[in-house]
Chain A
Amino acid sequence: MNLPINRVLAFTYRNYAFAKRNLFPFLEMIFWPAIGLVSIGLMGDFLSLEDKMRSFLLIGAIYSGVLQVTQLDVSYSLLYDVWSKSIKQTFLAPISQYDYIIGAWLFGIVRGTVVFVLLGIFSWLSFGFKLPSIDIVAISLAGILLYALILGMFVCFWVLLYGQRIDIIAWTLSILSMLVCGIYYPVTYLPKFFVWMAQLLPLTYFLEYFRLGYGFPLTFRYPLIKGFGLTLIYVFILFYMLGRAFYKSRKSGMMLRLSE
């Protein structure tokens, strides 16, 4: 059986080639996450926060960096083609939504994990931050990387339907969802409607689970079942939606307009 492994890896390879030759992927990985982390850490010092509280905030800063970088890589699977106006050439080949999404996500996993390790080391050296047990770290990091996959797929879906004018959501969507999922505060501090919304987003549960490792009480029960369960449902739905969006963009001519 001829598995489409090379088709998947083509997108990993392209994201890598772009990343090694351009400054912005480097800034995304190091500069912006480090700025966020230092600001939060220093604010913690200024407010004389106890270690537990400081950890709560630093977790938010670290995961925000991981999420943003990984979801951008998934979004880049289409955006690089849109910006280069080469989408027509790419989709001429016998590829499916699974190939470009998974291929780009693989590179996102590498970049996201590097961000996690770098920020973890930096916050330990600068602010005395310590990670909880390895199983909690691994499970919640896997959850965040999966949530980034969902966000990236969502961006790709809208780009296929509405083209380049909508590419700004690649940078806004993760920030908005972090706001709703309680990146720097428990979600119970949000207005009721947003608490309800937060329960629909897997990130809420993965953040809760990670903070459990520092002794913070759970707001919602069974965070891992809910987090991974919702992820599975969203990934399944989004792959279907991407297939439909691809068909629609071929029908409407959007696929061609994106190449002009």
Chain B
Amino acid sequence: MEYIIKTKSLSKTYTSGFWGRNKTLALQDITLSIQQGELFGVLGPNGAGKTTLLNIFSSQLIPDSGEVWILDKNVTRKFDNAVKNKINMISGNPNFPWSLTVEENLNFYAMLYNLNRTERKKIISECIDMFELNKFARTRYDNLSTGTKQKLALAKSLINSPELLLLDEPTIGLDPDISQKIRKMIKRFQEERKISIVLTTHYMLEAEELCDRIAFIKDGKILALGTSTELREITKTNTLEEAFIELTNK
């Protein structure tokens, strides 16, 4: 079995306040493996540590202890550029340079991945078509609706044709019809492009609909990990929501 991500005993504590006196434990002893081509869900309430985990996978955060391997490279402290080239990430409520248009934003991020002019032109045009952004191509980012901003974020996340896509609550705050559309797009990426996806969410139905395997996470710890069916069987419940409640109440 080939793994795209492997972690061993990952822990992270945030410090704040005077001389870092306030400490918040975000992750404790996280050990997991995510297979290539898998759509892996990380499910948990707000503050569970889902985003912290994704931020470690995306090089934005360095863990206090433990190890992370992505694409067979140890990236715990130093992220190889070759690995970064194969990863992309989006989050709910995305932010991009505000006075750049949709097209300029995509061009900027494509340049960051060192794509030449011809490559950029091709991929930007593909992304704009795929996410139906044509009529917004020359609209400034700060004039876009929330749903269109999220579509731009998804378009940007494919700009480097990633092998690993990290999606941090991609449908948060969106209208149900847009959320549904975005979920379909995510599923399509995985199936057509064979991208491995790690998705965090606190919507149980979303996880059930999209994910091959799910990790329940609370207070920085993994409570259970398995397919949706396995999780229901372990807890002898009928829905993922009931399974989660059952596990958290133990």
Contact = CB atoms under 8 A, between A and B. Distances in A.
B61 A253 contact: yes
B228 interface: no
A7 B109 CA distance: 9
Nearest to B153: A89
Contacts of B95: 84-86, 88-89, 259
Contact of A251 (B62, B112, B113, B160): B62
B60 interface: yes
A95 interface: yes
B47 interface: no
Contacts of A139: none
A95 B108 CA distance: 12
Given A17-B100, A85-B95, A92 B59 contact: yes
Interface in B90-104: 91, 94-100, 104
B108 A13 contact: yes
Interface in B60-110: 60-62, 81-82, 84-85, 87-89, 91, 94-100, 104, 107-109
A9 B111 contact: yes
A150 B65 CA distance: 35
Given A84-B98, A94-B81, A13 B107 contact: yes
B111 A7 contact: yes
A51 B240 CA distance: 84
B145 interface: no
Contacts of B15: 252
A6 B99 contact: no
B213 interface: no
Name the prevailing secondary structure of the A interface residues. helix
A252 B61 CA distance: 8
A21 interface: yes
Contacts of B113: 7, 93-94
B114 interface: yes
Interface in A16-57: 17-18, 21-22
A111 B73 CA distance: 42
Interface residues of B, number: 36
Given A7-B112, A95-B112, A86 B96 contact: yes
What class of interface size applies to chain A in its complex with B? 35 or more
Which has the most chain A C-beta neighbours within 10 Å: B14, B58, B97? B97
B97 A86 contact: yes
A4 B91 CA distance: 27
A6 B59 contact: no
B116 interface: yes
A2 interface: yes
B218 interface: no
A258 B100 CA distance: 19
Nearest to A14: B108
A220 to B, nearest CB: 42
A80 B84 CA distance: 22
A164 to B, nearest CB: 13
A80 B112 contact: no
Interface string A87-102: 0111111110000000
Contact of A81 (B14, B59, B60, B97): B97
B224 interface: no
Interface in B119-177: 140, 156, 160
B35 interface: no
29 contacts: A5-B114, A6-B111, A6-B115, A7-B114, A9-B111, A10-B108, A10-B112, A13-B107, A17-B97, A18-B97, A18-B100, A21-B99, A21-B100, A84-B98, A86-B95, A88-B91, A89-B94, A90-B112, A92-B58, A92-B60, A93-B84, A93-B112, A93-B113, A94-B82, A94-B112, A94-B113, A247-B62, A251-B61, A256-B55
Interface of B: 14-15, 55, 58-62, 81-82, 84-85, 87-89, 91, 94-100, 104, 107-109, 111-116, 140, 156, 160
Interface of A: 2, 4-7, 9-10, 13-14, 17-18, 21-22, 80-81, 83-86, 88-95, 247, 250-253, 255-256, 259
Chain A to chain B: the 8 pairs with minimum beta-carbon distance, closest first: A10-B111, A93-B112, A94-B81, A94-B84, A85-B95, A251-B62, A6-B114, A84-B97
